A and B are shown apart, each in its own frame.
Chain A
Amino acid sequence: MTTGGSEAGPAYEVLIERGKIREFATAMQSESPAYEGESAVIPPTFLTTAARWAPAGARADTGFERARLLHGEQEFVFHGPPPRAGQRLWATERIVDRSEKSGRRGGLMRLAVVLTEFRDDDGTLVAEARSTLIERAKPTEQPS
C-alpha cells in the first residue's frame, strides 16, 4: 500500500562551509584537492550534514519508532555542478511516499521516503536528497 506524503516544512538556511567540507573529506579518507581551498566543492554525500542546520520543527517526521528504524537507501541529485564553499542554500523537507509491507517474520514493516530540496537565494533547485527510511516489523508475539 502506498499513500501520499506530507506538506513541506519551513525552509531553513544551510551555509556551505569550507572547514566542514575539509572535516568531511578527512572522514571519507579523501586526499582530493577538489575538497580543499576557497572554492572547495562538496563531496557527493556531504548534504547529509545539512540537517544540523534545521531548527526545531523543520525536519520531516516519519513517526517511526527509533529502535526499529533502518536507513534503506539514500540518493543525492545535483542539477548542475555540486555546491561550493561559501554558497547559501535553503532546505525544505517533506515526506513524498509512504508504504507498508508484511515483515518476513510477520507484522507490518513501514517505509517512508523523505525528500529534501536545496534551493539558492533565487529559488533555483540546486540539489535534492532522498532518504528511504524503514521501520522494521514489531516481533510477533508467540502464543503461550
Chain B
Amino acid sequence: MSAPVTGVEVGSAGPERAFGPLTTQMFVRYSGASGDLNPMHYDDVFARKAGYPSVFSQGMHQAALLATFATDWLGAENVRRFHVRFREQVWPGDVLTCSGVVAAIQESAEGRLATVDLTCTRQDGSVAISGSADFLVG
C-alpha cells in the first residue's frame, strides 16, 4: 500500500511516459484483457472492408496507457476519479506520449485531493485522448 505522494502542488507535472511504437499485438492483448473483441482492432481484412487503412487501437486501450502513466505518478490506491474523452484514432506504429499536470487542489473528507489534467499525444502532436483525474495527495 503506497502512501499519497507528497510535494504535489498546482502546476506540478508528472514524469512523461512514451508508449510504442504500438503494435497490433498490443491491441490484441488489450482486447483479451478487456473482453472487447471488436475485430476492428485486430482483423486487418475486416478493418479495410469497413473503409479504414488498417486496424486501429481501442480508445480504452489508450485510456489504460494514460492510467498507467497517472498511477505510476500518483499511486494506484489514491485514484478517486478518472475521466477520458476520445479524440483521434491511433494506429499501429504510433508512439504515444502521456503527460499530466495538477490543475487544482482541494480539501476532501479523505484529505488533499488533486485534480490533474491528462493528455495522450500522438507523434504528430495531435491529441488522441484528453482526460482529467482526481488523486489523493499528501
Contact = CB atoms under 8 A, between A and B. Distances in A.
B7 interface: no
Given A27-B34, A48-B34, A73-B86, A43 B77 contact: no
Interface in B34-93: 34-36, 59-61, 63-65, 67-68, 70-72, 75-77, 79-86
A54 B14 CA distance: 37
Interface residues of A, number: 33
A39 B77 CA distance: 11
Contacts of B86: 70-74
Contact of B75 (A34, A48, A70): A34
B76 A82 contact: yes
A104 to B, nearest CB: 15
Given A27-B33, A49-B33, A49-B34, A35 B76 contact: yes
A144 interface: no
A27 to B, nearest CB: 4
Contact of A44 (B1, B33, B79): B79
A28 B75 CA distance: 15
Pick from A44, A51, A74, A77 the residue with the most CB of B within 10 Å: A44
Contacts, number: 103
Contact of B67 (A43, A52, A72): A43
Contact of B33 (A24, A73, A76, A79): A24
B35 A52 contact: yes
Nearest to B28: A27
Interface in A42-77: 43-45, 48-49, 51-52, 70-77
Interface of A: 20, 23-24, 26-30, 32, 34-35, 39, 41, 43-45, 48-49, 51-52, 70-82
Closest 3 CB pairs of A and B: A34-B76, A27-B33, A44-B82
